[in-house]
Amino acid sequence: MINFKILIFIIFFVVEFVPKFNEAHPVSEEVADLVARLSPAVVNVFTTQENKSSSSQPRNQSPSPFDNIPPQFKDFFENLPPGFPFNNPNQNRDQNKPAPQALGSGFVIDKTGYIVTNQHVIAQANEIKVKFQNDKELKAKLIGQDKLTDLALLKVESKDDLPYVNFADSDKARVGHSVIAIGNPFGLGGTVTSGIISAFNRDINSGPYDSFIQTDASINKGNSGGPLFNIKGDVVGINSAIFSPTGGSVGIGFSIPANLAKPIIEQLKKYGKTQRGWLGVRIQEITPDIAKSLGLKKEEGVLISMVNPGEPAEKAGIQAGDVIIEFNKKKIKDVRSLQRIVAESAVSSSANVKVWRNKKLKNLTVKLGELEAFNNVAQSEEKNGNSNQSKAEIEIEKVGIRVKNIDQDLRTQYRIPSEINGAIITGVKNNSFAFAAGIKVGDVILQISQTNVKNAEDVEKILKKSINQNSESVLIQLFSNGFPRFVPLKLK
């Protein structure tokens, strides 16, 4: 016998719920609505650049940090295949005219027309244009750029207020959070891909402030400079590089975190350049052996290997051999954390520094300088001093080395930073004292026996004096493999 109550319930269920299965998936609708709201603020960035084959002008800008990253980490700044939007496949065009290229993406951050993109997207550009989703094109002015973080700020003029997006607090993002990338891969503007945040704090050796967000959202050449949105529609990162053995997306992309980008963008908007805090020291990681020798209970902080004369650290009493444990009450875990914290500190501000010296903690106060101002002075001194530098090598046969003053060619060849000065090793004799000490070609001598070295003549003078005084050895400070280090050099 049929139970009429059950039958009525079944009929009600079929009538009430089955039609809903034919409706669109609610999550898909939410994402589609989100994309429709965000897309108008995302732009294609394309430029005209001087034809490389016809250019007779030397490149006078320092290289982008992305010039030296490992080959499997691809930036997106490459010519696109013929036939894609903004590309000119006509092989017979005038080779002396600038070539239009579809280079990347960007996004509007306020209604007046400020646009964020990657620095390498607009590097060496003669003219910059942006194209909106409604095909509106506007000429863009470069407000400022920062090679160290690969960020650039553009400005367009529009009669009407422009759609814009906001930055997220990227420190609140978590691994597994959903993200959406919108950009211009291969010149195909308005492309939307999605994924999750895969990891944080990735270092791909592109620069001193590497702290990338890793994502599996599909991003390719042309997405560079475009936004990575969280599910709320705020920009959590700026897409900048991919890990790619093949050249295409394999699900490992890297984005500059919003919280790293925001202060840089504000500085570019206010000053047209960055203004980073500057200590004036060379630093290195704490190894287990170093920690043990210094009496540290664990591998914490960073070791000061050199203090630049006359710079803020020296004026504050910081010494070579000190270990910076805290900076403005923030624990220092490693070299990169100190670099970032100092760089984000205001120029001319006073910072409290806690150092470990002689197995005791010591508190110091340092008034920070400006990194960019230091670099400009160093470059100017180097430029003015080049004409007076000796081109000849000096051989110190007793220890088995040849040294030479650093000129621009040697600086470029051995990737010596502009702030490093001294004398470069151009030859090391086999089975010599220098060879036994591990000194090699390309090392720069900074100090000998705690005396600063300015040029090759200083090296010759100090070493010959030590040899004449019948010294057993001298302590040499070298700049080697990107870091200063001390080496004992036997003289007999």
Q: What is the pLDDT of residues 193-225, one digit of tens each?
A: 999 999 998 887 677 778 899 999 988 888 899
Q: Which residue of the set 150, 210, 322, 458 is catalytic?
A: 150
Under DSSP, is residue 129 helix (H, G, I), strand (E, B) or coil?
Answer: strand
Model confidence at 96, pLDDT cuts 50, 70, 90, reads low
Query: Residue 150 catalytic?
Result: yes
User: Looking at residues 276-281, what average pLDDT do you find?
Assistant: 90
Within 13 Å and on the Cβ side, how many CA atoms surround 117? 36
Return the pLDDT at 89: 37
How confident is the model over 255-267, as pLDDT tens digits? Answer: 999 999 999 999 9
Residue pair 226/240 in contact by the 8 Å Cβ criterion: no
Cα–Cα distance between 301 and 285 in angstroms, integer? 8
Cα–Cα distance between 277 and 346 in angstroms, integer? 6
- Can you read off the two tokens belonging to residue 395? 């051989």
Closest C-alpha to 156, from 211, 201, 109: 109
* Average pLDDT of the chain to the nearest whole number: 81
Return the pLDDT at 445: 94
Residue pair 141/115 in contact by the 8 Å Cβ criterion: no
- Can you read off the two tokens belonging to residue 405? 């003053």
Return the pLDDT at 178: 95
User: Looking at residues 12-28, what average pLDDT do you find?
Assistant: 51
Cα–Cα distance between 41 and 226 in angstroms, integer? 10
| Span of 141-145, 309-313, 383-387 with lowest mean pLDDT | 383-387
CA angle 330, 331, 332 (to 5 degrees): 115
Residue 87 has pLDDT above 80, yes or no: no
Cα–Cα distance between 307 and 348 in angstroms, integer? 18
Sequence length of the chain is 492
Cα–Cα distance between 313 and 47 in angstroms, integer? 43
Q: What does the longest C-alpha to C-alpha distance in the chain come to?
A: 119
Q: Which residue of the set 64, 105, 120, 146 is catalytic?
A: 120
Write the CB contacts of 21 (distance below 8 Å, at least 6 apart in sequence): none
Residue 308 has pLDDT above 90, yes or no: no
Residue 74 has pLDDT above 50, yes or no: no
Residue pair 155/186 in contact by the 8 Å Cβ criterion: no
Cα–Cα distance between 446 and 459 in angstroms, integer? 9
Residue pair 174/214 in contact by the 8 Å Cβ criterion: no
Cα–Cα distance between 225 and 205 in angstroms, integer? 18
Cα–Cα distance between 73 and 150 in angstroms, integer? 15
**CA dihedral over 77, 78, 81, 85, signed as positive or negative:** positive
Query: Residue 198 catalytic?
Result: no
The CA–CA distances, whole Å, from 450 to 283, 305, 320, 418 equal 17, 12, 11, 22
Amino acid at 439: I
Q: Is 330 buried (19+), middle (13-18) or exposed (0-12) by CB count in 10 A?
A: exposed
Closest C-alpha to 417, from 480, 347, 346, 349: 480
User: Looking at residues 434-443, what average pLDDT do you find?
Assistant: 89
Only one residue has tokens 């409706």, namely: 23
Query: Residue 322 catalytic?
Result: no
Q: Which residue of the set 206, 224, 244, 480 is catalytic?
A: 224
Closest C-alpha to 191, from 151, 230, 220, 154: 220
Return the pLDDT at 266: 94
